[in-house]
Amino acid sequence: MEVVIVPDAAAGGELIAEAIATLMRRKPDALLGVATGSTPLPVYEALSAKVRACVVDASRARICQLDEYVGLPAGHPESYRSVVLREVVEPLGLDEGSFMGPDGTAEDVQAACEAYDKALSEAGGVDLQLLGIGTDGHIGFNEPCSSLASRTRIKTLTRQTREDNARFFDSPEEVPHHVITQGIGTILEARHLVLLATGEGKADAVAHAVEGPVAALVPASALQLHPHATVVVDEAAASKL
Ligand code: GLP
């Protein structure tokens, strides 16, 4: 695992955007796995700026989702589908046809999970998966004690994660209890994993993930098992390393 310490979130965003641009130059139809939350926004901003400046051509890129809430109505502004379309797909000038994600509105959620896991493989696998990290060490929505071999499936959010994500909703009660997430085993199949963590609030989770034992209690520690994992942290998030 490679750990890169950058001065701040903007520098982390620029570094990762350049890595994605390099991938897209080498493989124009690369499948880019994206994460939601506040942390990756500087990456998307820096990457869109490169596309606008014609420094990179993203027109053939494909985008896929990491996770999704279950039960939010289609088109809800905080469904991860809406977030990824708004923050990534549209700014890159792509259309919905270049985008794939799990169906959080499906009646048969289990079937939707299996279909998404299969669709990722059939698409040739994820070339670069961008990840954030939860304050409890989760990646995607794989909460502590998730199996390190897990596939895409339904999960129940912990109280901590629902509280952390309440800021995106009008009231804490609106945060769904259930989600679909790529499993840790699914995530580990991406060719390159890039985790970005910024701010002091992530320092404990980063220290456990990078320097602690590989353990289901800290899902992000599974990155230690991956042959090509890069952890980009600002100085605050690196403060307990
Ligand atoms: C959610 C997402 C994760 C993300 C995490 C941290 O739980 N499912 O993919 O990494 O939030 O979000 P933030 O970057 O806003 O701290």
Is residue 128 a contact partner of residue 81, using CB atoms and an 8 Å limit?
A: no
Q: What is the CATH number of the domain that holds 30?
A: 3.40.50.1360
Selected catalytic residue, list 67, 68, 87, 234:
67
Give 20 Cα–ligand 1 centroid separation in angstroms.
Answer: 20
Closest CA to 102 of 33, 168, 42: 33
Q: Average of pLDDT values for 46-51?
A: 98
Q: Is 37 in the pocket of ligand 1 (CB under 6 A)?
A: yes
The pLDDT of residue 67 is: 97
Binned at pLDDT 50, 70 and 90, residue 74 comes out as confident
Question: Domain for residue 126, yes or no?
Answer: yes
Question: Domain for residue 170, yes or no?
Answer: yes
Q: Average of pLDDT values for 70-87?
A: 94
Question: What is the residue range of 159's domain?
Answer: 2-234
* Domain total of the chain: 1
Q: Average of pLDDT values for 186-198?
A: 98
Q: Which atom of ligand 1 is nearest to the CA of 179?
A: 8
Q: Is 141 in the pocket of ligand 1 (CB under 6 A)?
A: yes
Question: Domain for residue 85, yes or no?
Answer: yes
Selected catalytic residue, list 14, 68, 127, 143:
143
pTM here is: 0.97
Q: Is the pLDDT reported for residue 171 higher than 90? A: yes
Q: Is 183 in the pocket of ligand 1 (CB under 6 A)?
A: no
Q: What is the pLDDT of residues 91-102, one digit of tens each?
A: 999 999 999 999
Question: Domain for residue 189, yes or no?
Answer: yes
Question: Domain for residue 239, yes or no?
Answer: no
Q: Is the pLDDT reported for residue 151 higher than 90? A: yes
Question: Domain for residue 61, yes or no?
Answer: yes
The pLDDT of residue 101 is: 97
- Angular region, 140: left φ>0, alpha ψ -120 to 50, beta rest: left
